[in-house]
Amino acid sequence: MKRRDFLQRSNALLLATSPLLALADDDRSERRRRRRTETTPQPVPQPIPPGAARHRVIVVGGGMAGATVAKYLRLWGDTVEVFLIEPAASYTSNIMSSLVLTGQRSMSSLSFSYENLFNAYGVQVLTDTVTAIDPITCTVRLASGEQLSGDRIVLAPGIDFDPVPGLGNSDRMPHAWKAGPQTALLAQQLAAMPDNGVAVLTIPRTPYRCPPGPYERACLLADWMKKRKPRAKLVVLDANMDIVTEKDNFTKAFLGLHGNVIEYHNNAEVLSVDPATMSLTSRAGTIRNADVVNLIPRQRAGALVALSGLANATEGRFAAVDNLSYASTVAPLVHVIGDASATNQPKAGHIANQEAKVCADAIIRAFAGLAPDPAPVTNSACYSTITMREASWLTAVFQYDAVTRSMVPATASSAASSGWNGDNFEQMGTWFKALMGDSFS
């Protein structure tokens, strides 16, 4: 393709689809002024000058992984043109979203704009849906009818849910596991629950998004119930044989601190539900007439991964990738990062951000004819709410192991806090702000 055609085509695409350009100029400059005074990292690379692009990467999905890889490809790759394609106009954070259920956070506090990726880094953000990819020619087809080709595709579509037998299209048993309307809905249902109501929270079989997430949500809701629904009960149906992470803290919290509210069942995978009677049948028995059901189904990579033939791991649920570059093991020009890939690393936002950096670095090296860094390191850190004011923490560093070609947790670094406290809860706020800043601005 000639350079001129290339540029003309991208301009045409921008004109057709980018919402960022449609804002009034006054509004934009005002926002930009405000942002400059508020955020610390100075924009490093400028939007790519005409004619300077030597390579193009198409990023599909604007979550933690997708936003970070788009930003770092521009930050670290002067001559890399980056398109980020995402159907939503802004990102809603899953991290911290359980605090919406207890009224401690607003939905708007979880919303992150893509504007800074454009303004500060020159990422071309298209609000559109990718309907298909060609992994050989690196072409993506968009719902708007456009096609876009590049040198690499990075897929970061997150997760999709398995259908639950009996659920249909009912909204009476929300997952609230992709933050958004379902989060607000579950918050309403909890608020409307009678004082002596029964709520049910179900935990899917691993691997699922955010391993400690359902347990911390259970703890948080239990604490909220003590204050707001004093005679209510929370039944936790865990599909797994045991608490899957941070076992000491969650065991203590479930049996001790929240023992009068939480009723925990392991090996209790949900087999079917009936929203009309608010009933669930699980391996551990049947529950009828629940007041609220937070049904978190089993998970797989976003549909595009399987549609593209890349879901070749974890019983066809996730994408096997080269852990040095996140290139698919069956399509070397297509990288899969974040929750959609199958690695030893947890599916969670903090480590998805680091996978994205490893991927960006490997792509930039590949464009220069270089092999990926042979010893990448990634890290995971998070805080779990044990009460409405106290949290625990969990961390691990992952080192590449050349023998197994996989990321292996460094034993000494894999740890959780001994108990929970208010300082950790405060630090959780700092961590969230830093992580979102590193991913979106």
Partner 1 sequence: MKRLRVPLRHALLSLGLIGLCATTAAQTPPPGRLLASNCFQCHGTNGKGPGFDKIAGESPDEIYKKLREFQSGKEGNGIMARHAMGYSDSQMRALSAWLSTQR
Residues that bind partner 1 (CB under 8 A): 11, 14-15, 18, 20-22, 25, 28, 39-41, 45-50, 52, 72, 75-79, 122, 350, 353-354, 357-358, 361, 364-365, 367-368, 370, 373, 376-379, 381, 393, 395-399, 409-410, 412-415, 417-418, 427, 430-431, 433-435, 437-438
Q: How many residues does the chain have?
A: 441
Which CB sits closer to partner 1, 255 or 368? Answer: 368
53 and 78 in contact (C-beta within 8 Å)? no
For residues 272 and 297, give the distance between their C-alpha atoms in angstroms, rounded to a whole number.
11
Task: Using the minimum distance from each CB to partner 1, give the nearer residue, 294 or 424.
Answer: 424
CA distance 327 to 323: 8
Q: How many CB atoms neighbour CB 306 within 10 A?
A: 18
- Pick from 353, 341, 360, 361: nearest CA to 378: 353
- Shortest spacing between CB 363 and partner 1, in angstroms: 11
| CB of residue 22 to partner 1, shortest distance in Å | 6
CA pseudo-torsion sign 208, 210, 215, 221 = negative
Q: How near is the Cβ of 281 to partner 1 at its closest, in Å?
A: 40
As given in the structure block, the two tokens for residue 71 are 């930003």
The token pair at 4 is 């001129």
Asked if 415 contacts 382 with a C-beta cutoff of 8 angstroms, the reply is no
Phi first, then psi, for residue 128 (nearest 5°) are -160, 170
Q: Are 145 and 126 in contact (CB under 8 A)?
A: no
Closest to partner 1 by CB, 118 or 254 = 118
Q: Measured from the CB atom, is 192 or 410 closer to partner 1?
A: 410
User: Which of 72, 17, 143 lies closest to 357 in space, CA to CA?
Assistant: 72
- Which residues have CB under 8 Å from 343's CB, separation 6+? 321, 323, 355, 406, 407
68 vs 97, which CB is nearer to partner 1? 68
> 52 vs 132, which CB is nearer to partner 1?
52
CB of 15 to partner 1, least distance (A): 6
CB nearer partner 1, residue 206 or residue 395: 395
Note the Cα 110 to chain centre separation in Å: 13
Q: How far is the CB of 211 from partner 1 (least distance, A)?
A: 17
196 vs 406 by CB, closer to partner 1: 406
Question: Nearer Cβ to partner 1, position 3 or 227?
Answer: 3
CB of 357 to partner 1, least distance (A): 5
Closest separation in Å from C-beta 102 to partner 1: 24
Burial of 102: CB neighbours in 10 Å, binned 0-12, 13-18, 19+: buried
Residue type, 305: V
**Smallest distance from partner 1 to CB 259, Å:** 27
User: At closest approach, how far in Å is the CB of 282 from partner 1?
Assistant: 35
CB-side exposure of 436: number of CA atoms within 13 Å?
20
